[in-house]
């Protein structure tokens, strides 16, 4: 394990040009910028249609300084496998291949190809940036939209079903590395990428991405809301290295504190949860407390 | 060297000789023996390539699209619903101008389920911007695979090599196996102008606007429409390149013919039966029989279906009394797709010349229904006498 990075120790070279087409306050801008710094110049990217397609710009202008293949919605992981196979055939063992897909492109339409690549053990890093909905098409529900969230196609009652636990699905593929990160904790993301680069097979990253237009908050509060998700114990930062689960960064610190911020604060900061009743929030709080009781127990 | 093998093996041998470096495939009958053969070549070390056993056809083409974008010579093969499942990727591959080769081992599409041969699968992909070539025997399969790679890489357009499931894929036939040195001299290593490369990064297939747009150097870059128009123009020009491929191939391998069509006893014929693939060789038997009865009839196989060799077809059919198009697929709601395309070519080149033939359409062998040579002969005999029907007529139908 390397020493923890600080904002001053990050590489100064930017691989994403400033002035992208992302929305103001977009959490993805942070995660992508820092993520590419960790991946470095010798990387080939694969991107399906998503907010990132827009962030990257319109032909013939591109905001990313790395080679990038835009592919069909369902095929991110399979395309990564194709690039890897080519690099292998060319005798290139140094270039990193990384897929960056949204939560719809991962948990819904892209899950089959991702599962296939993970089962084959294709040696690449897959990033799911999870803004919890089809934000690029106008905020529709996805497999990872949380229960209670109002979206364009769950307009009155909010989503009735639980968020799909994609990192757990990926962990069930016996991967060498699975990580849950957040755009609000970019250094944790950076260090995790650095930690997994040398590991074999498919590496999976799930990144929680606050989204001002999709979640309904003032763009300046993105980091605050991303942190609230972690401080309330609602969304946890962790890594699973060769099957070994470990909370990291702010989530790890919560173990010592033994105190979570009430999840109500997270919900009340976003308009998408406006129809959640106190009773519903109470139920969710109970689930969170039970989850954390498990974490505390493991720690004892 | 002459060998006796099945059609799938002929395709696999062709791919091996072409030194494809990335192969991805998902099993579907009747394609499986072809891709199994390739996995054998790769696993035994006989072929230096990466073989990716993907979890779907959609991913098979995703692997090939990405590998081709990264500079590899790629291969995949499929049939029927596998091809339909790929459809989005089929369009993507041609839009991205990737010179890949895919074999389609023709099979009927569901519903209802049917694993036998017809050509509805590849015909349904007619408008995807791929070059589409139909084979009538095993020699054509292996030769076409080799020519297809050269052609694809010349014009940066993917090629579908189509051959009938079972009738060709699973039957054994003698054919000449080209020497590796000869194939190497015909087909140089794949060197794309651009490939995914961290030393020279570019963003491929980005969102492209309806209109042209200035790049950072102040030059106008294509809009979506320009890019799509160039695909159409280059596809049409590919007819010329196909002729070059045929000439080059003949120069090295001492065999070859008209690249677009394959006429048999057509010179003095009053009627010409037209089709795609193995049925055209079956119709040669019918034609030989009808010739003994004094019916002046020939048969013409159409090898290139896209780009459509309209000029060659119209020239070959000029002055004929009747054209009988026999197809193993149709555009539901109208008629056979080849029928419509052929009529359009005749109209374009012969309208007003007074030599427009009467064109009739027959549908045969759907879902593997046996096409009895006697029935086919009787069909051609009746069609040569006069127009049987305005609508397509199904041969051997028992409604």
Q: What is the ipTM of this complex?
A: 0.96
The CATH number of the domain holding residue B380 is 3.40.50.920
Best of B59, B92, B202, B227 to disrupt the A interface (most A CBs within 10 Å) is B59
Q: Which residue among B64, B70, B215 places its CB closest to the CB of A60? A: B215
CB-CB under 8 Å, A43 with B207 = no
pLDDT of residue A77: 98
A87: chain B residues, CB-CB within 8 Å: 70
- How does pLDDT run across A47-79, given as a tens digit for each residue? 999 999 999 999 999 999 999 999 999 999 999
pLDDT of residue B26: 98
B65: chain A residues, CB-CB within 8 Å: 71, 75, 79, 82
A75: chain B residues, CB-CB within 8 Å: 58-59, 62, 65, 89
Total domain count, chain A: 1
Give the C-alpha separation, B66 to B383, whole Å. 49
Give the C-alpha separation, A115 to A78, whole Å. 10
Q: Is A131 part of a structural domain of the chain?
A: yes
- HEC sequence for chain A: CCCCCCCCCCCCCCCECCCCCCCCCCHHHHHHHHHHHHHCCCEEEEECCCHHHHHCCECCCCCECCCEEECCCCCHHHHHHHHHHHHHHCCCCCCEEEEEEEHHHHHHCCHHHHHHHHHHCCCCEEEEEECCCECCCCCECCCCCCCCCCECCECCCCCCCCCCCHHHHHHCCCCCEEEEEECCCHHHHHHHHHHHCCCCCCEEEEEECCCHHHHCCCHHHHHHHHHHHHHCCCCCCEEEECCEEEECHHHHHHHHHCCCCCHHHHHHCCHHHCCCCHHHHHHHHHHHHHHHHHHHHHHC
Q: Indicate whether B267 and B173 sit together in one domain.
A: no
B22: chain A residues, CB-CB within 8 Å: 82, 85-86, 89
The domain of B168 spans 2-186
Percentage of chain A with pLDDT > 70?
99
Q: Is B191 part of a structural domain of the chain?
A: no
Q: Is B374 part of a structural domain of the chain?
A: yes
Q: Is B147 part of a structural domain of the chain?
A: yes
A90: chain B residues, CB-CB within 8 Å: 71-72
pLDDT band of A2, cuts 50, 70, 90: low
DSSP secondary structure string for all residues of B92-127 = HHHHTT---EEEEEE-PPPSSP--S--SHHHHTTGG
Q: Is A12 part of a structural domain of the chain?
A: no
Q: Indicate whether B162 and B271 sit together in one domain.
A: no
Q: Which residue among B67, B198, B209 places its CB closest to the CB of A43? A: B198
Q: Is A14 part of a structural domain of the chain?
A: no
A82: chain B residues, CB-CB within 8 Å: 22, 24, 52, 62-70, 72, 74
Q: Which residue among A70, A88, A113 places its CB closest to the CB of B206? A: A70
- CA triple B158-B307-B56, angle to 5 deg: 35
Residue after which a domain boundary falls, among B164, B186, B208? B186
- HEC sequence for A131-188: CCCECCCCCECCCCCCCCCCECCECCCCCCCCCCCHHHHHHCCCCCEEEEEECCCHHH
Q: Indicate whether B272 and B145 sit together in one domain.
A: no
Q: Is A105 part of a structural domain of the chain?
A: yes
Q: Is A55 part of a structural domain of the chain?
A: yes
The CATH number of the domain holding residue A165 is 3.40.50.970
Q: Is B271 part of a structural domain of the chain?
A: yes
Helix (H) or strand (E) holding B247: helix B224-253
- Quick one: tokens of A190? 């950076």
Q: Indicate whether B271 and B152 sit together in one domain.
A: no
Give the C-alpha separation, B170 to B34, whole Å. 10
What's the mean pLDDT in A117-137? 98
Q: Which residue among A56, A65, A115 places its CB closest to the CB of B206? A: A56
CB-CB under 8 Å, A62 with B202 = yes
Is the torsion defined by CA of A93, A103, A105, B224 positive or negative?
Answer: negative
Best of B22, B26, B71, B203 to disrupt the A interface (most A CBs within 10 Å) is B203
Residue after which a domain boundary falls, among B163, B186, B209? B186
Q: Is A290 part of a structural domain of the chain?
A: yes
Q: Is B255 part of a structural domain of the chain?
A: no
Give the C-alpha separation, B176 to A139, whole Å. 59
* Alpha-carbon distance values, B231 to B18, B69, B156, B242, B285 (Å): 25, 17, 9, 16, 39
Q: Which residue among B21, B59, B71 places its CB closest to the CB of A78? A: B59
Strands ordered across the beta sheet of A244-247: A244-247, A238-241, A177-182, A203-208, A125-130, A96-102, A43-47, A68-70, B203-204
Q: Is B73 part of a structural domain of the chain?
A: yes
Give the C-alpha separation, B369 to A67, whole Å. 50
Residue after which a domain boundary falls, among B169, B186, B203? B186
Q: Nearest C-alpha of chain A: how many angstroms from B208? A: 5
Picking from B95, B98, B154, B160, the residue whose alpha carbon sits closest to that of residue B124 is B160
Q: Indicate whether B41 and B128 sit together in one domain.
A: yes
The domain of A250 spans 27-299
Q: Indicate whether B26 and B139 sit together in one domain.
A: yes
- CA triple B231-B329-B345, angle to 5 deg: 50
Closest residue in A to B220 (Cα) is: A60
Picking from A116, A83, A121, A120, the residue whose alpha carbon sits closest to that of residue A99 is A83
CB-CB under 8 Å, B198 with A67 = yes
Summarize chain B as % helix, strand, coil (round to 5): 40, 20, 40
CB-CB under 8 Å, A53 with B66 = no
Q: Indicate whether B47 and B138 sit together in one domain.
A: yes
Biggest CA pair distance of chain A? 59
CB-CB under 8 Å, B52 with A81 = yes
Q: Is A68 part of a structural domain of the chain?
A: yes
Q: Indicate whether B128 and B272 sit together in one domain.
A: no
Q: Is B235 part of a structural domain of the chain?
A: no
Q: Is B112 part of a structural domain of the chain?
A: yes
The CATH number of the domain holding residue B87 is 3.40.50.970
The four Cα atoms B54, B59, B60, B62 give a dihedral, to 10 degrees, of -140
Q: Indicate whether B182 and B88 sit together in one domain.
A: yes
Helix (H) or strand (E) holding B79: none
Full pLDDT tens readout for chain B, 399 residues: 999 999 999 999 999 999 999 999 999 999 999 999 999 999 999 999 999 999 999 999 999 999 999 999 999 999 999 999 999 999 999 999 999 999 999 999 999 999 999 999 999 999 999 999 999 999 999 999 999 999 999 999 999 999 999 999 999 999 999 999 999 999 999 999 899 999 999 999 999 999 999 988 999 999 999 999 999 999 999 999 999 999 999 999 999 889 999 999 999 999 999 999 999 999 999 999 999 999 999 999 999 999 999 999 999 999 999 999 999 999 999 999 999 999 999 999 999 998 899 999 999 999 999 999 999 999 999 999 999 999 999 999 999
Q: Which residue among A62, A67, A74 places its CB closest to the CB of B196? A: A67
What's the mean pLDDT in A259-284? 97
Give the C-alpha separation, B134 to B129, whole Å. 16
pLDDT band of A200, cuts 50, 70, 90: very high
Q: Nearest C-alpha of chain B: how many angstroms from A172? A: 17
What's the mean pLDDT in A211-235? 98
Give the C-alpha separation, A290 to A284, whole Å. 10
Q: Is A10 part of a structural domain of the chain?
A: no
What's the mean pLDDT in A10-26? 94
pLDDT band of A19, cuts 50, 70, 90: confident
Total domain count, chain B: 2
């Amino acid at each position: 394990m390397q020493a923890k990075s600080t904002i001053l120790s990050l590489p100064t070279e930017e691989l994403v040009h400033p002035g992208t087409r992302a929305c103001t306050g977009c959490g993805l801008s942070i995660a992508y910028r820092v993520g590419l710094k960790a991946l470095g110049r010798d990387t080939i990217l694969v991107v399906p249609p998503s907010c990132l397609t827009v962030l990257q710009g319109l032909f013939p202008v591109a905001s990313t300084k790395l080679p990038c293949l835009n592919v069909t919605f369902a095929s991110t992981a399979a395309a990564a496998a194709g690039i890897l196979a080519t690099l292998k055939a060319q005798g290139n063992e140094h270039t990193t291949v990384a897929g960056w897909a949204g939560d719809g492109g991962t948990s819904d339409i892209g899950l089959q190809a991702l599962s296939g690549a993970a089962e084959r053990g294709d040696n690449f890093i897959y990033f799911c940036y999870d803004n919890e909905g089809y934000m690029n098409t106008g905020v529709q529900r996805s497999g990872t939209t949380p229960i209670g969230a109002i979206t364009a196609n769950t307009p009155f009652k909010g989503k009735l079903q639980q968020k799909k636990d994609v990192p757990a699905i990926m962990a069930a593929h016996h991967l060498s590395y699975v990580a849950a990160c957040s755009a609000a904790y970019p250094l944790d993301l950076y260090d995790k990428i650095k930690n997994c680069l040398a590991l074999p097979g498919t590496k999976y990253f799930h990144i929680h991405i606050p989204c001002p237009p999709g979640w309904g908050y003032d763009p300046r509060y993105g980091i605050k809301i991303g942190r609230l998700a972690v401080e309330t114990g609602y969304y946890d930062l962790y890594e699973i290295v060769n099957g070994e689960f470990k909370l990291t960064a702010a989530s790890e610190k919560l173990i010592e504190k033994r105190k979570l911020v009430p999840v109500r604060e997270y919900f009340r900061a976003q308009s998408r949860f406006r129809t959640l009743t106190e009773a519903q929030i109470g139920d969710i709080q109970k689930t969170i407390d039970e989850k954390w009781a498990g974490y505390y127990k493991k720690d004892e | 060297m002459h060998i006796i093998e099945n059609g799938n093996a002929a395709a696999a041998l062709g791919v091996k000789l072409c030194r494809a470096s990335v192969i991805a495939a998902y099993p579907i009958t009747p394609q499986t023996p072809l891709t199994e053969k390739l996995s054998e070549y790769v696993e035994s070390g006989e072929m230096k390539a990466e073989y990716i056993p993907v979890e779907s056809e959609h991913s098979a083409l995703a692997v090939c699209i990405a590998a081709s974008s990264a500079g590899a010579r790629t291969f995949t093969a499929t049939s029927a619903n596998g091809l339909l499942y790929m459809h989005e990727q089929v369009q993507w591959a041609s839009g991205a101008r990737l010179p890949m080769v895919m074999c389609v081992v023709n099979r009927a599409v569901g519903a209802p389920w049917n694993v036998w041969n017809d050509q509805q699968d590849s015909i349904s992909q007619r408008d995807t911007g791929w070059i589409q070539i139909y084979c009538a025997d095993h020699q054509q399969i292996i030769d076409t695979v080799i020519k297809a790679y050269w052609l694809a890489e010349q014009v940066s357009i993917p090629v579908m090599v189509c051959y009938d499931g079972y009738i060709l894929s699973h039957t054994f036939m003698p054919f000449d196996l080209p020497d590796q040195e000869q194939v190497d001299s015909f087909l140089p290593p794949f060197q794309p102008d651009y490939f995914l490369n961290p030393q020279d990064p570019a963003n491929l297939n980005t969102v492209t606007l309806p209109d042209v747009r200035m790049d950072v150097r102040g030059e106008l870059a294509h809009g979506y429409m320009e890019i799509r128009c160039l695909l159409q123009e280059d596809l049409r020009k590919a007819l010329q390149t196909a002729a070059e491929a045929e000439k080059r191939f003949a120069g090295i391998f001492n065999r070859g013919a008209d690249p677009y069509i394959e006429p048999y006893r057509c010179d003095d014929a009053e009627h010409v039966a037209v089709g795609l693939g193995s049925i055209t060789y079956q119709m040669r038997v019918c034609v030989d029989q009808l010739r003994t009865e004094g019916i002046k009839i020939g048969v013409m196989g159409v090898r290139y279906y896209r780009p459509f060799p309209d000029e060659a077809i119209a020239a070959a059919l000029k002055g004929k009394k009747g054209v009988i198009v026999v197809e193993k697929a149709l555009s539901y709601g109208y008629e056979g797709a080849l029928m419509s395309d052929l009529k359009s070519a005749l109209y374009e080149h012969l309208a007003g010349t007074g030599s427009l033939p009467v064109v009739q359409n027959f549908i045969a062998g759907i879902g593997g229904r046996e096409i009895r040579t006697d029935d086919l002969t009787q069909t051609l005999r009746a069609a040569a006498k006069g127009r049987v029907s305005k609508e397509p007529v199904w041969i051997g139908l028992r409604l």
